[in-house]
Amino acid sequence: MSSSESSEQKQYFSTELLSWYRRHKRDLPWRRSRNPYHIWVSEIMLQQTRVDTVIPYFNRFMDKFPTVAALAEAPEDEVLKAWEGLGYYSRARNLQSAVREVQERYGGVVPDTKEEVASLKGVGPYTTGAILSIAYNKPEPAVDGNVMRVLSRYFLIEDDIMKGSTRVSMEKLAQELIPEEAAGDFNQGLMELGALVCTPKSPSCLTCPVMAHCAGRAAGMEESLPVKTKAKPPRPERRYAVVIEGAAEHAGRVLIRQRPAEGLLARLWELPHAAVPTAP
């Protein structure tokens, strides 16, 4: 592909994607304002979790902790209770730790520079880009799995997306595509396209706004991309759990214990349990 063809392909992608997103974007509660705190909370909740699941959690969380100050000052147990059911509880702890830092260092205002946002606990490159572009309209890329899938297919990129070098090159490519005047809408459009159209299996190519210049589809590779090394399968572990119910004056009570302060599911409550001995 010549440089002029490549430039045309990129320009077409940016223009058509932005137009499509503005016509078809979903009405999601965190899209109703440019409040960086709202956007930050939504992006943390959306990690490893479906949009439909997040919506009621986000609404309840915002009702309970409507501002940076409210979340910073809340007892951790209340925050974890509001997060209950979303899983990956370290996300909630890291979010509150970072919000407390924002309250103390920045007067409760989420910073608007890449260095400051990226330094906050639990805020990686994707979340940094999402906050800066959506809240502050800064041309920073927000590259997650959805985005890498879209770019791999559209530009026919056969590099393994599990490699750090591939992510870096994808971030550079995504930044080249961002229209400076509409960074937030463009990044959300990329996410939306990956979530609704350019899906992992059976992508809806005929309804895709950028199908005409999609190199992956032209090569018949839209379903085989992106290239992704399979993760190691989880190691199964069996445990005995014990349910101890109270009697007499303790009737209706069940014995539970609190996990250690560090490690998996730190400080959460559980039934007593022990590992099942493995056969020699």
Active site residue ranges: 43
- Tokens standing for residue 17: 């994607």
175 φ, ψ to 5°?
-65, -35
Of 213, 206, 202, 204, nearest in space to 151 by CA = 213
With CA atoms as reference, report the closest residue to 102 among 90, 87, 113, 89.
Answer: 113
Question: Of the candidates 45, 105, 106, 95, which has an alpha carbon nearest to the alpha carbon of residue 71?
Answer: 95
Find residue 257's DSSP bridge partners.
270
Structure tokens at 271: 């039934």
CA atoms of 158 and 148, how far apart (whole Å) = 11
CA–CA dist 261, 276 (Å, integer): 24
**Cβ–Cβ under 8 Å, residues 51 and 142:** no
- Planar angle of CA 180, 186, 188, nearest 5 degrees: 140
Place of tokens 């959805």: 146
Which residues 6+ apart lie within 8 Å of 239 measured at CB?
273, 274, 275, 276
